[in-house]
């Protein structure tokens, strides 16, 4: 590719290079040609997607193989280490676009609100515009579970006209954990 810059990936003992376009290849190795020793690029590393849609690959480190996110390697190599409290931002909101020009370290707020074009929602409980339940209902569900611990989640869900999974998440604290009884 034109204007593609390759740099060595740290802590891989010189095994891999990454480009500013987000491509990874195995590093140059010495090979014998007919009358001379040459540095030969091996191959491009296959990238796959994790469950959230981010490009990942498996690289060999001194301690063994490790799955790594490509966007984080690009930023570490071409921009610098991640500042504390920051995360990787995909400026065009395309998780598989790992070009250096599309990546930047930023805060969670910048990543969710600014990069998401306001589509990503911040807010707990009733402040979240997508919330269907009211805090009073959630408090009642938790109270019912405390008073009747023998009741199944399905019975509580039927009582409030909800799905069992929602009730299970409320009771376990996976959802609405900020609401206390």
- CATH number for the segment(s) 6-114: 3.90.75.20
If you average pLDDT over residues 145-168, what whole number do you get? 94
| Burial class of residue 138 (count of CB atoms within 10 Å of its CB; 0-12, 13-18, 19+) | buried
Residue-wise pLDDT tens digits, 52-78: 889 999 998 888 889 999 999 999 999
Band the pLDDT of 82: cuts 50, 70, 90: very high
For every residue of 118-166, DSSP letters joined together read: T-S----GGGSTT--S-HHHHHHHHHHHHH-TTS-HHHHHHHHT--HHH
SS3 30: strand
Can you give the pLDDT at residue 79?
95
Can you give the pLDDT at residue 15?
84
If you average pLDDT over residues 146-172, what whole number do you get? 93
Segments of the chain assigned to CATH 3.90.75.20:
6-114
Q: What share of the chain is helix, strand, coil (3-state, %, to 5)?
A: 30, 25, 50
SS3 98: coil
CA distances from 90 to 5, 39, 50, 128 (A): 20, 34, 16, 24
- Please give the mean pLDDT across all residues of the chain: 85
Residue-wise pLDDT tens digits, 15-55: 889 999 999 998 656 555 565 555 666 788 899 999 888 99
Write the DSSP symbol of residue 110. Answer: I
CA atoms within 13 A on the CB side of 25: 15
Write the DSSP symbol of residue 13. Answer: T
Can you give the pLDDT at residue 118?
52
Can you give the pLDDT at residue 63?
86
Q: What tokens does 110 get? A: 């910048």
CA distance 90 to 114: 11
Can you give the pLDDT at residue 43?
84
CA distance 66 to 173: 31
């Amino acid at each position: 590719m034109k204007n593609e810059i390759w740099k060595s990936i740290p802590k891989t003992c010189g095994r891999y290079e990454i480009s500013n376009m987000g491509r990874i290849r195995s590093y140059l190795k010495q090979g014998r040609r007919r009358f001379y020793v040459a540095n030969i690029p091996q191959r491009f590393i296959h990238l796959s997607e994790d469950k959230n849609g981010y490009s990942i690959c498996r690289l060999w480190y001194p301690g063994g193989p490790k799955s790594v996110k490509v966007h984080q390697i690009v930023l570490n190599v071409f921009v610098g280490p991640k500042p504390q409290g920051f995360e990787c931002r995909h400026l065009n909101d395309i998780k598989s676009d790992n070009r250096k020009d599309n990546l930047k370290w930023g805060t969670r707020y910048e990543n969710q609100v600014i990069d998401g074009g306001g589509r990503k929602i911040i807010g707990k409980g009733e402040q979240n515009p997508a919330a269907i339940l009211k805090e009073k209902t959630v408090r009642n569900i938790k109270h019912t579970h405390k008073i009747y611990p023998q009741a199944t989640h399905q019975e509580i869900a039927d009582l409030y006209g909800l799905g069992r999974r929602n009730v299970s998440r409320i009771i376990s604290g996976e959802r609405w954990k900020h609401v206390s009884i």
